[in-house]
Structure 1
Amino acid sequence: MAIKIVQRHSITPSHAAAESFPLLYFDMVWLHTLPTENLYFYTLKSSQSSFLDNIVPMLKHSLSIALKHFLPLASTIIFPLTSAAMPVSRYTASDSISLTIAASNACFDNLTVNHSKIADEFHQFLPEMPPEVFHSDHIEFKALAIQVTLFPNKGICVGLKHHHAICDAATLFAFLRVWASIHKSNAAEEYSIQDSLPFYGRDSVQDAKELTKSSWNLIKTKKPILSPTVSFPLNKVRATFILTNEQINKLRNSSPGPTSTFVAVSSHLWTCIASSAAAAGEAVPDNEPEYFGSPVDCRARLNPPLPETYFGNCLIFFMANSSHGIIKGRGGFTAAATAISAAIRETVGNERGILDGFENHLKDLSEYEGKRVVLIAGSTRLDPCAADYGWGRAIKYECVHTDYDGAVNLCKGRDGGVEIAMSMTKLKMDAFAHVFHQKLYISSNL
C-alpha cells in the first residue's frame, strides 16, 4: 500500500489583514494536548489528471476564501517563555497553512468500512505539521495543516491536523462546512454562508474570576505538546460501532429515569468496556474505581451565553465515577446512567455556575492518569460528515488521534443514530464487540 506526495502548497487567506487573537482559559487547557487528527472520506470517481487539473485548483481557491473568515486557523500560535507575556494566536501577511496533495493505491473500500482495520494504515493520509520554531523568549507553532489524498477512480480523503488550543471540534467542523460550501459553488456563493461565519467576541467570554490569568500560571511552566512520542507499529485496530435510533430509544427506555441520547449511549459504552475486561485478559478487582469523562459545550451555558458560532474552545469536563464490579454487573447500565447523569447535573446544573472550580481543572484531570478511565472525544450532537464539497456527504469519518490517547469518539451517525469509534488491541476490540452486540440483543428483548 503506497502513497505518493504529488504537490505541496502554502495557502494564504484571501485579502486578510494582520490580526491577533488572545488565547483564553478555555483555549489554554489544550496547549498540553496533542494536535487532533481527523480523516474524512468521500466517494469520487476521478482520474489523477482530472483531479489535479480540475479539483485541486478550486480546493486551493475555496480554501483561501474560507480561511479569510477563519483567520486564526492560518495563524501562528505564540507560546511565551517569559512570565510577563500571555499566549496568543497571531496572523501576519507571511502566514499560511500547508496543503499537501497526494495519491494512494490503498484499498479505499477497506478503509471506509466499520469493522476492524489496522490502525497504522490511516496515518499516511494525515498531513505533516510544520515544525515548531524556538526563540529565546517564545515558541511558535502552526494551528492547522491539511492533506487531500486521491484514490484514483474511487474516492478522496481530506485529512486534518489541528492544534486544539486554537478551537474545538464545533468550530473546526463549521470551518469545514464553509470551505466545502464555497468549493461546491465554485466560489460563486461566498456570501450565502454568512450565517455560518464565526463570532470572535473574546470580550463576551465570562471571566469575572480572572480564570485566564490563573490558568496561565498553571500552564506556563510546561512546554506545549506538538507531536506524539510513539513508534509504529501501534499494534492496534480501529473499528466503528453503530447504534441506530431504535436501539438508542430501547436503551433510553431501560434507563432509571428520563435519559438523553448521550447518557444512554455512554452508559452502554461504559458497561461494555468494563464487562469485556476479563475476556480481554485484564484482571480487574471488583473494587477498582471506574471513571467516565466527557467534554460539555459551554457556549449556551455561560452568563451571558455565547452564540453557537463562537470561534475557539468552550468546553468543560465532567467526570463520573463508580467501581468495576458495579459497572460490569447485572445492573451496570442503570448504575452507569445514574452516575453519568449525576456528574452532568453537578457540572452543568451547579448553582454557583458551570465555571465553578475551573481553576482546578488541570489539576483534577491529571489525578486520573493511570486509572481506569473512559474518556470521550467528540459529541453525539456533532455531524462530522456534513461538509459537502460537491461530492456528497462524507461516507466515513475517522478520529485518528484516539490511537494515542485511548479516547472513544462519539458523533452523529452518517445515516442516523450514533457512531462509536475506538482504537485498541485486537484482543480488546474482539472482546468489546462481543459484549457490545450481546448487550444490545438482551436490551432489545426486554
Structure 2
Amino acid sequence: MATKVLDRLTVAASPPALGGVLPLTFFDVPWLFTGPVERVFFYPYPHPVEQFTAHLLPSLVFSLSAALHSFYPLLGRVRPCPDGGGGYEFCSSGGDAGGVELTVAESDDDFEELSGGGPRDVARLYALLPQLPRTEDGTFSLAAAQVTVFAGRGLAVGVSIHHVACDDSSYMNFVKTWAGQCRVAAGEDAAAVPPPPFLDRGVVADPEGLAGRTLDEMRQLASNGPPPPPPPGPPPKLVIASFALTHDCIDGLKQRVVAKGAASENGCGRVHCSAFTVACAFAWACLARVDGSCTGKKRAHLLFSVECRRRLAPPIPQEYLGNCLRPCFVEVDMGLLGADGVLTAAAAIGASIKGLDDGVLDGADGWLHKILSLVPERPMSVGGSPRYGVYDTDFGLGRPSKVELVSIDKTPGTVSLAEGRDAQAGIEIGVVLPEAEMVQFSSCFSDGLKQQ
C-alpha cells in the first residue's frame, strides 16, 4: 500500500488577510509543547484522479483560501516574544507572505477498510495526514491540510492544527468554514458558511498572571531533563477502531444511573447525567478491564476537558478562536471493574461536571501540576465531543462516511467521542490500543451492551 504525493501547494488567504500578533492566553500555554489535533474525514468519491484534479481540487484550494481570510492566525507561527521576556505569541504576517501547506496525494490503500470502523493499523491513517512544517529558529506552523484521492472509490481530507492555536470547537469551526466555502463555490447559498471566528484575545482575563506562571512551571519541568526512555524492544503495533452506543443504549444507561443515584447524596440523579457522562463511563469501564497497568491499583483515574466559553463570567462568544478548556479530574475505587462499574463511574463523572458550577476557574494554578502527577497513573483521557458535529462537515460530497480523530494515539489511554454517523448511532467512541488489548476491549464493549 502506498501514498504518492502529487503536489504541495501553499495556500494564502484570499482576499489577503491583515495579519498581526496575538498573545497566548493561560488556556493556550499548556498546549505549547504538545502537538497537533489530527482528523481524517472520509468521503465516497467514485471518480478517477483526473476528474478530481480538474474539478474538485481547484474548488478545495479556492475555498481553503477563502476560509483562511477569516482564520488568518492559522497562517502564522508561534514564536518567542521579541521583548525577550520569555513569553510566546502568535505571529501572522498576512498578505501574500503567509500560507497553509496543502498536500495533494493519491493512495492505492483499501478505502473501504480505512473508512470502516474495524481495527486498522493506525500508521495507515497517518499517511493521510500532513505534517506541520518546522523551522530551525524554533518557530512552527500552526496548520496544514492534505487531500488524498483513492481512484474511483473515495477521498480523504486530513487536517492538522497545533493544539496551542485552538481547541476542538475552533478546529471544527475552521474545517466547517472551509467545507461551507467549498459548497458556496459550487453554487450553494452563503448560509452554508458558519459565523466568522471571534479573534479578540482580550476577552480572556488573566488578573493572576496564570499564563506566565504556567510557562515558568513548564520550563522548570523541562530543565529537569528528558522523560524516561520507552521500554526496550519494538513498540507494540497500535490499531484504531470505533464502537457505537445507540440512542436507546444511552437512554437506558442514563435511566439506570439516575435510578441508582436518586437516593444517594452524590448520585448522578442529583448532579448531572448526560449522554457524554454515560459514554465516558462506559468507555472507562471497558478500558480499565483491559489495561494491564491497572493491576494492583486501588484507584482509577479519568481526565477530560470541559469547554469554558459559556461558563466564564462574562461568557465569551462560541466562535472565539483559541483554547478555552479546563481539565476535569475524576477518581474512583477500582470497584469500577465490578458489575456496577459503569454506574459508579457515571455518578463520579457527573459530580465532577456539576462541581464546575461553583467556579469554572477554581484551582487553575494547580491544573498543570495535577495533570503531570497523574501521568504515572495512566488515566483515561477524552478527545473530541459529540457537540462538535464532525459528521456535518460537507464539502459538497455529502456527509462523511467516517471521521477519525487519529491523534488520540499520542497519549495511551485516550479515547475519542463524536456524534454517531447516522440516526441510530448516538455516540461513536474511538480507541487506539495494541492489537491484543483491542480484542479484549471489543469483547468487554459487547458484553457491556448485552447487560443494558
When normalised by structure 1's length, the TM-score is 0.90
Aligned to 2:103, the other structure's residue is in SS state: strand
* 2:427 match: 418
* 1:226 match: none
Aligned to 2:403, the other structure's residue is in SS state: strand
Aligned to 1:203, the other structure's residue is in SS state: helix
Aligned to 1:424, the other structure's residue is in SS state: strand
Pick from 105, 109, 127 the counterpart of residue 112 of structure 2.
Answer: 109
2:135 paired with 1:132 = yes
Distance 1:113 1:389, change over 3 A: same
Distance 1:243 1:314 in 2: 28
Please report how far the alpha carbon of residue 48 of structure 1 lies from its aligned counterpart in structure 2 after TM superposition.
0.8
| Percent of pairs with identical residues | 29
* 2:439 match: 430
Structure 1 contact 182–190 (Cα < 8 Å) conserved: no
Unaligned runs of 5+ in 2: 223-228, 262-267
Pick from 271, 284, 288 the counterpart of residue 270 of structure 1.
Answer: 284
Pick from 278, 293, 296 the counterpart of residue 303 of structure 2.
Answer: 293
2:359 paired with 1:358 = no
Q: How does 1:197-346 map to 2 (within 5 A)?
A: 197-220=196-219, 235-255=237-257, 256=261, 257-258=268-269, 259-277=273-291, 284-285=295-296, 287-324=297-334, 326-346=335-355
Pick from 315, 340, 349 the counterpart of residue 357 of structure 2.
Answer: 349
When normalised by structure 2's length, the TM-score is 0.89
Aligned to 2:277, the other structure's residue is in SS state: helix
Q: Which amino acid in 1 is paired with 2:351? A: A
After superposition, give the CA deviation of every residue in 1:31-85 in whole Å (9 maximum; x if it has no partner).
1212222111011112111111111111111111100011111111113597514
Q: Which amino acid in 2 is paired with 1:415? A: D
Distance 1:374 1:90 in 2: 34
Distance 1:4 1:312, change over 3 A: same
After superposition, give the CA deviation of every residue in 1:133-188 in whole Å (9 maximum; x if it has no partner).
31xxxx21100011100001111101122110000111111111111111112176
2:415 paired with 1:408 = yes
Distance 1:31 1:372, change over 3 A: same
Please report how far the alpha carbon of residue 118 of structure 1 lies from its aligned counterpart in structure 2 after TM superposition.
1.6
* 1:371 match: 377
Q: Which amino acid in 1 is paired with 2:107? A: S
* 1:186 match: 185
* 1:165 match: 164
* 1:389 match: 395
Q: How does 1:43-82 map to 2 (within 5 A)?
A: 43-80=44-81
* 2:225 match: none
* 1:95 match: 98
After superposition, give the CA deviation of every residue in 1:381-420 in whole Å (9 maximum; x if it has no partner).
2221211111001111111112221210011112141010
Q: Which amino acid in 1 is paired with 2:115? A: T
Distance 2:53 2:294 in 1: 53
Distance 1:57 1:331 in 2: 54
Q: Which amino acid in 2 is paired with 1:317? A: P
Structure 1 contact 149–156 (Cα < 8 Å) conserved: yes
Distance 1:66 1:282, change over 3 A: closer
Distance 2:131 2:287 in 1: 33
Distance 1:379 1:218 in 2: 29
Structure 2 contact 384–417 (Cα < 8 Å) conserved: yes
Distance 1:283 1:316, change over 3 A: closer
Distance 1:272 1:3 in 2: 35
Aligned to 1:160, the other structure's residue is in SS state: strand
Q: Which amino acid in 2 is paired with 1:411? A: A
Structure 1 contact 120–233 (Cα < 8 Å) conserved: no
Distance 2:236 2:72 in 1: 35
After superposition, give the CA deviation of every residue in 1:328-370 in whole Å (9 maximum; x if it has no partner).
0122122211221222223x122xx211111221111000112
Structure 2 contact 177–193 (Cα < 8 Å) conserved: no
Aligned to 1:114, the other structure's residue is in SS state: coil
Aligned to 2:388, the other structure's residue is in SS state: coil
Q: Which amino acid in 2 is paired with 1:289? A: R
Aligned to 1:199, the other structure's residue is in SS state: coil
Distance 2:199 2:83 in 1: 27
* 2:4 match: 4
Q: Which amino acid in 1 is paired with 2:239? A: V
Please report how far the alpha carbon of residue 191 of structure 1 lies from its aligned counterpart in structure 2 after TM superposition.
5.3
Aligned to 2:310, the other structure's residue is in SS state: helix
Q: Which amino acid in 2 is paired with 1:274? A: A
Q: Which amino acid in 1 is paired with 2:342? A: F
Q: Which amino acid in 1 is paired with 2:420? A: G
Structure 2 contact 180–194 (Cα < 8 Å) conserved: no
Aligned to 1:200, the other structure's residue is in SS state: coil
Distance 1:195 1:387, change over 3 A: closer
Aligned to 2:387, the other structure's residue is in SS state: coil
Please report how far the alpha carbon of residue 131 of structure 1 lies from its aligned counterpart in structure 2 after TM superposition.
1.9
Unaligned runs of 5+ in 1: 224-228
* Corresponding pairs, count: 427
Structure 1 contact 130–141 (Cα < 8 Å) conserved: yes
Q: Which amino acid in 1 is paired with 2:287? A: I
